[in-house]
Copies of this chain bind each other. A is one copy, B any other.
């Protein structure tokens, strides 16, 4: 970590700062230049409160040289992590197609969708049982019952399942779930992350709507610091001023994360865009820029003409998407 002190800092002020840093078991290397003084902090700087340091009057700027995340850091673990869930591998060249309905609604529904997406090449089934909703009056999911239905669909098709947890007190219900999802709104629910770090379950960790990629990696680090290294990072759109799409899908995140970390990266174009007609093009783009997995919503409700055109794809639309994604993956080898 480098701290640059302002012109005009007195020797006493600097000594105070250096003493304080040494008190935190850091070595301090001082380089006084014509314009500024540069302090090089050597040792375990992950415990240094960068915001506090920055806020000091005498400090011009602070810059981490070593990233604050360690276990998630590619520098220390150059090889890609391959996450294994129910026999399916993700990362390190293994690609996963995750598909399923937004919410689990009935046994018939979830089994039909599972069979359809499997036939089109999906190898993991998604489905919401606990649904985080902005309004307390909206449908909050089938909860434990929904997980049971997902497990029936898993039994019927052999597809491993991924579903979201909202509260650590429900963890027991996830005993047979293959991948536990942490939603965007809980990305910095640090107590939840720590508890999930104590399980051995693969975790699908979604980026918060206003979180930087470094913050996403710090949240992964929370899970890893408790012993669980089976993490899949998920880009699902960030909040910007543009209103044409629900969120702005930040596809640069795929390559940026691949440079910074060894963890696999999945892209969710359904939630990012909020419109069915944008899901396929964004899935193609995600495949082209090297995503390790794509997660899309698929519904199967022939009696509900309403649902066409919503955020979820029909099985035939998913079939075409899946086929083209495979062709794009061949094109970029």
Contacts and interface: CB of A to CB of B under 8 A. Distances in A.
Contact of A186 (B55, B56, B189, B327): B189
Nearest to A133: B190
A166 B191 contact: yes
A125 interface: no
Interface string A142-175: 0000000000000000000000001101000000
A241 B212 contact: yes
Contacts of A277: 57, 255, 259
Contact of A252 (B13, B36, B244, B308): B244
A189 to B, nearest CB: 6
Chain A binding surface, main DSSP class: mixed
Interface stretch (A39-47, A83-91, A92-100, A106-114): A39-47
Interface in A262-299: 272-278, 281-282, 284-290
B239 A241 contact: yes
A297 to B, nearest CB: 10
A12 B306 CA distance: 10
Interface string A52-69: 101111101101011010
State the oligomeric state as a number of copies. Answer: 4
A308 B188 contact: no
A277 B31 CA distance: 28
A305 B253 CA distance: 28
Contacts of A256: 244-245, 278
A34 B38 contact: no
Contacts of A16: 304-306
B65 A2 contact: no
A290 to B, nearest CB: 6
A36 to B, nearest CB: 5
Given A212-B241, A251-B285, A324-B332, A31 B34 contact: no
**Which of A33, A36, A136, A215 is the most central at the interface, judged by chain B CB atoms within 10 Å of its CB?**
A136
Contact of A287 (B132, B134, B209, B288): B288
Nearest to A241: B239
Contacts of A229: none
Given A239-B241, A245-B252, A255-B278, A42 B47 contact: no
Interface in A94-140: 132-139
Interface string A1-38: 01010010000110011001000000001010111101
A275 B55 contact: yes
A20 B221 CA distance: 39
A232 interface: no
12 contacts: A47-B139, A55-B274, A57-B310, A210-B241, A213-B244, A245-B252, A248-B248, A251-B282, A252-B273, A255-B281, A259-B277, A281-B288
Given A255-B282, A327-B331, 19 more contacts: A13-B305, A20-B306, A29-B34, A46-B135, A68-B135, A136-B190, A189-B189, A209-B210, A238-B240, A238-B242, A240-B240, A241-B241, A248-B248, A249-B250, A251-B282, A252-B273, A288-B328, A328-B331, A331-B331
